[in-house]
Structure 1
Amino acid sequence: MSALLAYVGKRSQLRVLLYLLLAITLPLLLTLYLYNQQFTANLEQETKRSAEQQHDHIIQGWQQEFRHIAEMAHRNAKDYGMISLAKLKDTTSQEAKTLNDYANNLLSEQTFQNRYVEQICLTIQASNRTLCAHSSDEAGALDTHVRAANQRFEPLGVESNRDNVYLMTYSESLLDKGNTQELGRVTIWFNLNTLWKVVSVKNSAQAYVFMDPDQRVVYRNGVFTGGLAPVQSASNSLSADRTTVQSVKQVDMNTQTPWISFFEAPMPRLNETFPHYRMWLLTLFALVFMLCIGGILLFITYVTQPLHELKALMNRAERGDLRAYWTSKASKEWTHIGESYNQMLNRLEDLIKQVKREESLKKEAEMEALHYQLNPHFLYNTLNTIKWVAKIHKTPQISEVVSSLVRLLQASLGKKGDFITLRDEIGLTHDYMEIQKFRYGDRIQLETQVDELTLGCLVPRMLLQPLVENAIIHGIGPAKREGMITIRTWLDRDLLFCQVEDNGVGMPLEEGNFGGETMDAEGKTTKVDHMLKERMSGIGIRHIREKIKLIYGPEFKLHIRSKPGEGTTIRMFLPIHQGEE
């Protein structure tokens, strides 16, 4: 048995260990998972914000440099020397030579100062010639293959023979101030690859596409792994595989339709941003797990082991060993519980001893009751002998009186229960009157006015006989005249009323008093009170009053109404019932 209890105890400890381990590790894993998700979401938000800032920086660079190119072309178009050169019709004059040198120097200087400017050309409509300054060639050379630019900014596409170099032009007309006639055009060729190095953020992994209002690619750098996002006013979203973040913006280039800028930045990985992130996470989990194991072991040591020990002691107590006291040394709380358990064992032992003592006293009382039951049997046998002797000597009155007395003794000493029907109770009262007639003759008469519905109701045994006895002894007997005793019973409002009335000497009570009190409340011993005590101090009246109170409660009482010389009326009201409940 001890081995079985030890096995059960170990299994219980293992079960508690598993429950606690699950209760601790599952919330821990959930917390770490949520922390990882939150950390990843924050990293994505930070990457989006960084991509947005980089994209804004690129757009500001484009706008600034394009504005600078436009201002350069505007200054050249408004230059007095350039306008004067375009107005000359004689290109061989000294003035034409001087203005040509001036324009050549001006264009060469601007080309040299801006490293992304490929060339600046002045096209003169009057002489149908073009003067260009190249970034790599000598100034003044005429370029007969220059393509005219019809728009302010015109993408020229990709020069495949120059390693995918993106070129773009910006042109502005030279106007005569007098008649606003177009004299020529200033056109600037600039290299977007070189310009990109000025405006871009230093990040080789990013991708970028710049489109004009006709959605022609002006410049492309890198490859979009997630494809181009839909064109809209502004967007910032992750790619499908969550490896890149894209940003799309519309750029105001002083045109009717905005240009479009696409930017894509790689989504940094945790192991790249935080190289030892997983190691720290595993170390943290291992540390918390070890703390959980330590807490579980402490819980088993200080909680489950004393609990199983107390359970084993209780099992011994259930089998009857009331000496299975708690003697272990544990924590303060378990010591208090063990002391309470020891007190419970002592109390149980005292109660068992008390029950055994009460059982012994009960057996002694039953034996004594059996002993005293012999006396009524001798009395019955003696009365039966007197009855048969009276019959032999032909004295029937003595025989009837003895028979009535035997019935009364059997009713008062019988073992048939505490309740009898009202019909049997009235019958016992008639038996008592038969005995009294042997003494008083016909001077006392008994009249019954009984409702037939009340005869089946149960009442306490010997309820009416003591009242009739008191009426004869204390009421009619002292009157020295013929007397009448009337027994009335009726039902009213679910109550059974029983009343015994006599026309004897009566008692000095308040007129019309049917209260339950028949003595003075202050306990004064006057002559009248002495008479009342003498009349009502019989054992029968007190017995009936206490019996009604004990059986039915204090709300059911015995009421008395009496006046000197007019008799006494005793009334009782009881609940109606047909069974001994």
Structure 2
Amino acid sequence: MRRERLCLFDGMRFRHKLFVSYLTVIIIPILVLGLYAYHQSKQMLEYQALQGIEKNAGTITESIEKSLERYNHTIQSIIYNTTFEKIVTNDYIDLVNLSRDLNGYLMPYFNMMKNMDQNIEQITFYTQSSVPEYGDALLSASRVSEERWYHDALLAAPNRNQWFFDDGLIVTAQFPSFYTKGNTNLVYMRINSKDLFNLSNTLQENAIFIADENQRLIYANPNAKQRQYLLSGDLSNEDGSLIRDGQTSFFLVKKEIQQTNWTFYCFVPTKKLTEGAGSIIRVTLGLILICIAALLVIIYIFSRTMIRRIYALNSMMKRVEMGDLSLRVASTSRDEIGEMTNRFGRMLIRLNELIDESYRSKIVQKEAELRALQWQINPHFLYNTLSFINWQAIKSDSYEISHVVTSLSKFYRTALNRGNNITSVRDELENMKSYVEIIQIMRDYSFDVEYEIEEAVYVCYTIHLILQPLVENAILHGIDQKEAGRGLLKVRARLCDNAIVFDVEDNGPGMPPDTAERILTVYSTGYGLKNVNDRIQLLYGPEYGISVSSQLGRGTIMTITVPQYHQNTMDG
């Protein structure tokens, strides 16, 4: 994909490249500034919206605080009323006085409080004393002994109001212990929370919860009832923290209600805070488009002016390409285009001079070809001489001399290869085998040779003279250096994927790893391994060449890897 984009850019006219470059350099800063302005404006909108929501939340919590404070004062006025204390402790000599206090004081007082505050639904005394029950106003504590709120109220500190939400809003308080004679008596007040949690319309669109210190739900508006799971998360963050719910995110506004240790939570969708960002985007895009339109005109004028001289230079180059070498090119401009024009003019002058010199070089080339023909005579003379020696050896029954001469003739015939750099694998193997036969005869067959050649490699072609140097190196530095036992040379050739792999292995003393790495990077005397490796990589690429694997005391394996070529491929 990246190469396709580069090819597309390379195929464009220079005028278009210049236009695109200018446009890119200009558009990027404009887009960055536009995006920055939009981001800042969006943040400002979020901040202002959160400030408004926090202000409304503060107003609501203050209203709830005042209402709760009123109820706290009401219930405190009850527990410190001496008549009520007397009733719950059953501090009466006869039932006549109890009945008088219940009918003449308790019930009128409760009715007065309910009439003054319509949200008070029930006021009840729960007592552990033996006082008789009286309607809903005075009941035995055994009736609610299994209720959760009752146990929590008993564990609360004396004189401290406790708030609960149990199918309605409940507030309880204990009568002072010094009046109860060992019993715990409670006052219980149920309040209609509808008016207490009457939230403003601006916040009703959000998810609002009120929870106690144990994260138990006290109140949830309609938008929050489907998202009660939000309370189960970590809500210890400060106001304005970002809460994520799957693909939806919320800003959290949190307020403490001191009277009851409740917490007011308002989850505001982030999309709602940025509803006004659309107009900012439209204005920003409009300004960007206006700026780009104006800049396009300026870019067109500048690029047309600058490219005109390049077109003129290109026109002169076309005339030279068509053969008009008498053209004289020069420019008085001192910019890069002027320098390029003057250099082209000097290059044209130099080109005419080189054309004149080429005629003389052709004469020198013909003389070199003549000398090359003379050198070609030498190999034929060598072959004829070796053939004569071979015939004389056979005639004298010197068959070993005949075998050496024949091998030497075959070696030089394949080594010279008529001056070609490419040869068949068959001839390359024959050249190597001829060399090995000559060395074995010269050394009285002091080492053994094994060949493992796949038949399929014979029809392939490779670089000329790459196996013999490896075999020579294996004999001189491997087998000849072996201190004990008989030397063994193994030569293998096989096809592997799309490559030909040659292995030359000896059972000599081996070499350390640093030496194995160095022999391919350092020139040696004669036709060394580095020369072979360089030739292979120069023709086929760095993925081919020689690799060396050696272990001290176990021998060395040199591997040549070349691509698999056939005659038709080499011709192409």
Query: Would the TM-score normalized by the shorter structure come out above 0.5?
Result: no
TM range (shorter): 0.3 to 0.5
As a proportion of its length, which structure holds more helix?
Answer: 2
Give the number of the structure with larger relative contact order, counting CA–CA contacts within 8 Å between residues 6 or more apart.
2
Bigger-Rg structure (1/2): 1
Question: What TM-score do you get using the length of structure 2 for normalisation?
Answer: 0.43
